[in-house]
Structure 1
Amino acid sequence: MTRTMSTEAQLRWLSACYFFFFAILGVMVPYLGVFFDARGFNASEIGLLLAILMATRILAPNLWAMVADRTGMRAELIKLGAGAGALTYVSFFYPGSFGYMALSLAIYTFFWNAILAQLEVITLETLGDRAHRYGIIRSYGSLGYICLVVGAGFAIGQWGPEILPYIGMTLFVGMLASCLPLPANRVKVEAEAAGGFSLRGPIAWFLLSAILLQMSAGPFYGFFVLYLKQAGYTEFAAGLAVALGVVAEILMFMLAPRLLGRYGSKPLMFISILLTSARWLMMAFGVDSLFWLALSQSLHAFTFGLVHAASIQFIHQQFDSRRRSQGQALYASLSFGVGGAIGTWLCGHIWGIDPSLCWVFAAVCALLAALAVLPLPGRVKPN
């Protein structure tokens, strides 16, 4: 493809990139622990290996963003990340020692984590004054996630956990094939203007809210299935509950453009995070009821879908074109990386006291996250 690629054609390729990126996540998050267990690693070793995935998610996006904002190379970095990720993922096929697997995981996730922040920036710059359509494009990522959560689970049930590297390699190749046609429309950056930025005012409050929100998601990401099993649900029922949440998320991504265009980012973030606080209280006190469980999972449309769409819009408006990669990387690493890690770690300690207290802790974190939204500029609308 050339630079003359139409906007709609580029958006189709970007949608495919989202699909494969989050499809890879849909394989790694639920099933990587199962894969390592089948390879003979104990619980402590598996925990350390999964921590590497979190650590690279904190470090890699910011390092790659510095390169992107200084050079203007964004599509190139997506291609480099996908290509190098696919190449280094080959090492995952070899059943090596703990040290070998740790190194393999660190290398390929370092390249894989280079992709998302640049993908977000390119998508919003391609949309231009139609940035409110972001949710529709991003929904393909949610579709990829749910397809692989279900598909990989079926495949592992049929052929065992050793099928996972083959699934992963197929998805990495699909990611590379989807990003290669993207035109290299570099953003020209003045050297003296490509430096840092001040984490004060609205940006500081926004990032604090994002960290607190992902802290609140700690028990969901780390202990949701275990919590449901203790409440008497089967693994299949827990899987259906996860699927319900992702379906709600996809539907919200479809509605998000209209909502963002009418109300702007701030009120939607505030309301969504308040609903998230209510959602965690439902998990604390209503998990035995199928109705409250289903309602709680339906609110994932707000917890992630609408909050994320509004957050991406907010970052795109608050950071100029020279620093947007850094802005998206900060959001990803501080919220999903730091916030998620702290929330999961704290819930690991609270769990031993009373599992339901994890969800009360989550509700308090979400309430604080909602309060941190209040100082943001009012009715920030898409460009």
Structure 2
Amino acid sequence: MDRGRQRVVGHPLSGFTLLYGMMYAAFGVASPFWPRFFETRGFTSEELGLLLALGTAVRLVSGPLAGRIADQLQARRMVLALCLGSAGIVALGLATAKGLALLLLISLCHAAALAPTTTLADALASRAADAPRENGRKAFEYGWVRGTGSAAFIIGTLFAGQIVAAVGLASVVVLHAGLLVVAAFVVFLVSDMMPDQQRPTRGTITPLGGFSTLIRIAVFRRLLLVAALILGSHAIHDAFAVIRWNAAGIGPGTASLLWSLSVAAEVFVFFVAGPPIVARMGPAVAAAIAAIAGVLRWTVMALTTDLSMLALVQPLHGLTFALLHLAGMRILTQSVPPQLAATGQAIYALAAGAATALLTLAAGVLYARYNADAFFVMSALCLLALPLTLGLQSADKT
């Protein structure tokens, strides 16, 4: 074993592929149906809005907290397994709970347990992907496992739609919980590739010290801002694209196909196009491509609802999301100390999530006042991010 860095023996890709498949299938079977599920349990529109808002607030807190605990205890796999298992068990309570107060409490506990899972998994997978095998080559491409997750999400959603039609909405809760519990056991098939020489002695890093250490890294701060601008720019699309299409006479079936184009492009970039772009051009160029794609995508959506044009720009989601995500993972791997990997992932997710939440709130006002021209605001955010990507070229730790 290399003293500076653990080498990967065997085929770690299979374990991570299974983990991401189970996790994202669990998300896919339930995510599209949660609003309808709570509506059938007696939640009004106002109460559902409160539930979703509180869930977002809980996730923004629990993600960084769990990441910091995982790094502090040097137990990223264990914390991930506990979060997945807890989320699965708590989710089962939603199927039988009575009363709005109890449903709200269980839902918030579920959100708190589920929030850290993706960032902890990414901390493990991105580091394991870059760890050298015995032949000196990197273990695998992170994009392959993340692409598996996106594909599993689609399959889970399609499968859940059939099950709901046959059995009812409560079935998605059981599927969701079962997949999460299975994923909790799969966690122990993957490894945590922290270099031995960089494993800190317990107690030498204070809980808050990890956050302050990361914020002092210039390229990390720049990445947070770029991700917040580009990922946050999706807010109006996610909230109002289908509404705009419907007003233009584009029916649900066609809208669903347009949405599917974006997800298919995401999978393609994760598996095929993204890894070589990041490897050959570097993460800074990849982030710049994502910003340019965002400017083009939102400008076209502001100007037209022509079906052929929409079909051309929807696949740009593969660049505005997937390529940026791959670039972000590479920069995090290069710039964040290994002993703070989970904390770094959590703060990265927090920056993107908080920006998206704030811009989603603003989206309603912008769309009500400017209608389709609101997409120009999102285009401007990507344009603002473009020069900032230049500062991502240096992924040093100072």
TM-score, length-scaled by structure 1: 0.91
Contact 2:30–2:160, Cα closer than 8 Å, also in 1? no
Residue 65 in 1 paired to residue 83 in 2? no
Q: 1:374 aligns to what?
A: 390
Q: Which amino acid aligns with 2:356?
A: G
- The equivalent of 2:152 in structure 1 is 144
Alpha-carbon shift at residue 274 of structure 1 (Å): 1.1
Deviations 1:187-235 (A, max 9, x none): 6323334632152422212111111122211112222322222222222
Which runs of structure 2 are paired with 1:1-383 in the superposition (5 Å)?
Answer: 7-127=9-129, 128-129=131-132, 130=138, 133-183=141-191, 188-190=199-201, 191-193=203-205, 195-196=209-210, 197-200=213-216, 201-254=218-271, 255-287=273-305, 289-335=306-352, 337-377=353-393
Deviations 1:55-75 (A, max 9, x none): 233111110111111111011
Q: Is the 8 A contact 1:269 1:373 kept in 2?
A: yes
Query: Is residue 92–residue 101 contact of structure 1 (8 Å, CA) maintained in 2?
Result: yes
Q: Is residue 126–residue 333 contact of structure 2 (8 Å, CA) maintained in 1? A: yes
Deviation, 1:22, is: 2.1
Cα offsets for 1:296-327 (capped at 9, x unmatched): 21101101111101111111111011111111
Q: What is the one-letter code of the residue matched to 2:15? A: W
Deviations 1:86-131 (A, max 9, x none): 1111211124222222211111221122222221121122221427
Q: CA deviation at 1:183?
A: 4.7
Task: Give the conservation status (yes or no) of the 8 Å contact 2:89–2:181.
Answer: no
For 1:224 and 1:24, the matched residues in 2 are separated by 25
- Paired residues of 2:92 and 2:174 also in contact (CA < 8 A): no
- Tell me what 2:3 maps to: none
| Aligned residue identity for 1:12 | S
TM-superposed deviation, 1:5: 12
Instruction: Give the CA deviation at 1:132.
Output: 6.8
8 Å contact from structure 1 (residues 23, 148) kept in 2: yes
| Count of aligned pairs | 375
- Tell me, in whole angstroms, the C-alpha distance in 2 between the residues paired with 1:353 and 1:155: 40
Deviates more, 1:178-187 or 1:70-79: 178-187
Summarize the Cα distance change of 1:45–1:377 in structure 2 as closer, same or farther, 3 Å threshold: same
Amino acid paired to 1:269: A
Gaps of at least 5 residues in structure 1 are: none
Shift in Å, 1:356? 0.7
CA shift for structure 1 position 8: 4.7
My pick for the range that moved more, 100-109 or 27-36, is: 27-36
CA distance, structure 1, for counterparts of residue 146 and residue 243 of structure 2? 29
Residues 7 and 126 of structure 1 are in contact (CA less than 8 Å); yes or no, is this contact kept in structure 2?
Answer: no
Provide, for residues 307-353 of structure 1, a one-character-per-residue CA deviation record: whole Å limited to 9, x for no partner.
10111111111101111111100111110x20110111100112222
Q: Contact 1:131/1:313 (CA < 8 Å) preserved in 2?
A: no
The one-letter code matched in structure 2 to 1:166 is V
Output the aligned Cα RMSD: 2.3
What code does the residue aligned with 1:221 have?
Answer: D
What's the secondary structure of 2:17's corresponding residue? helix
Change (3 A) 1:7 1:248: farther
Change (3 A) 1:262 1:249: same
Deviates more, 1:193-202 or 1:145-154: 193-202
How high is the sequence identity, in percent, across the aligned residues? 25
Question: In the aligned structure 1, how far is the partner of 2:42 from the partner of 2:116?
Answer: 30
In the TM superposition, residue 134 of structure 1 has moved relative to its aligned partner by 0.8
Instruction: Tell me, in whole angstroms, the C-alpha distance in 1 between the residues paired with 2:87 and 2:276.
Output: 36
2:220 and 2:336 in contact (8 A); partners too = no
Query: Structure 2 CA distance, aligned partners of 1:97 and 1:365?
Result: 42
CA distance in 1, matches of 2:139, 2:47: 43
8 Å contact from structure 2 (residues 81, 185) kept in 1: no
Does the 8 A contact of 2:29 with 2:157 survive in 1? yes
